[in-house]
Structure 1
């Protein structure tokens, strides 16, 4: 890897930016669910999650705490696990493409594929936080 790229990706600030971007869909959703609590409750009710206010708060807190653990690079494995399990659970609850007719079946399948990719990225974050690269000795 070119030295500049290695220096860039190895910097502390790059790690914070990368972890913030990776978790952005979660912390933005969590904030939205708290800022517009009624809309979040309506979303939970739409998917049959009752009591909807409890589920809205639980989802928002899961998204915010999971993101915070990853961004802070503390208990990263826990944050990644929280968000990965949450994302996996949304598939049968909100993205059951196998129950839909075309063209919605295919469109929703792509959403599920994206969810699986995000779960994979969260797995990489958990793995990488547990197995950091050794620091190379200066030449």
Structure 2
């Protein structure tokens, strides 16, 4: 690895930036649902979710709370786990590629596979948080 890359990866600000970027889709969506609450409720209703108001509130809490825990590197495993479960649940609830006609099925399939990749990223941030020793993340390893 080139030295300048190694030095960049060792910077604490770069780790914070990486956690912000990783969670962008979640905190961006959570803020949008909070700021435009009725639109968030309408989105929940569009996907035929029960009690759209409560589902929007729970989504906001999950997306913003999970993102915050990852960004501040505190109880990262909990935030990443909540976001991973949330993301996994959107596949059978929202992105039902197996039940759609083409080309909608192809688009939904690609979204579902991207969701699996995001879950992998959340798994990695949980693993790495153990090495940084943030509160609630376990011991710092050398």
**Counterparts of 1:93 and 1:66, CA distance in 2:** 20
Query: What secondary structure is seen at the aligned counterpart in 2 of 1:106?
Result: helix
Query: What secondary structure is seen at the aligned counterpart in 1 of 2:74?
Result: coil
TM-score, normalising length from structure 1?
Answer: 0.93
Q: Residues 1-139 of structure 1: matches in 2 within 5 Å? A: 1-132=1-132
Structure 1 segments (4+ residues) deviating >2 Å: 131-135
Q: How many residues align?
A: 135
Query: What secondary structure is seen at the aligned counterpart in 2 of 1:48?
Result: coil
Q: Deviations over 1:47-74 (max 9, x none)?
A: 1112111110100110000000000011
**Counterparts of 1:101 and 1:25, CA distance in 2:** 27
Q: Deviations over 1:70-128 (max 9, x none)?
A: 00011000111010000000000110000011111111111111000000000011111
Deviation at 1:131, TM superposition (A): 3.7
TM-score, normalising length from structure 2?
Answer: 0.91
**Counterparts of 2:9 and 2:62, CA distance in 1:** 28
Q: CA RMSD in A?
A: 1.3
- Larger mean Cα displacement after TM superposition, 98-107 or 66-75: 98-107
**Counterparts of 1:48 and 1:113, CA distance in 2:** 22
Deviation at 1:134, TM superposition (A): 5.2
In structure 2, stretches of 5+ residues that fail to align are 133-139
